[in-house]
Amino acid sequence: SNRKSSFKVMVTLTKGSQLLEIEAGLTPILSKGVMIILRDLTEQRRLEQAVLHNERLKELGQMAATLAH
């Protein structure tokens, strides 16, 4: 069977209590076993949150400018 599965795991490191978000994917390799791929999504998630925060600040600034006029 050539089924693919993936899951996400949140891992907390004790060094500095840094929280990492790791995506782990499993893919069967014929009858030999599985291939495991790990991706660190921590920085991507941090950047996504920063973009959302900046968009909210922009909207708030636009509302304040509208009210000021």
The residues, any chain, with a CB within 8 Å of residue 2's CB and separated by 6 or more, are 28
Q: Quickly tell me which residue has 């900046």 as its tokens.
A: 54
Look at residue 1 and tell me whether its pLDDT is greater than 50: no
How far is residue 22 CA from its own chain's centroid? 8
pLDDT score for 27: 79
Is the pTM for the entire model greater than 0.85?
no
Q: What is the pLDDT of residues 4-57, one digit of tens each?
A: 555 556 665 556 777 778 787 787 887 788 888 888 888 898 899 999 999 999
In contact, 9 and 24? CB cutoff 8 Å: yes
Q: What is the pLDDT of residues 56-66, one digit of tens each?
A: 999 999 999 99
Region of 34 (left: φ > 0; alpha: ψ -120 to 50; beta: rest) is: beta
pLDDT score for 5: 56
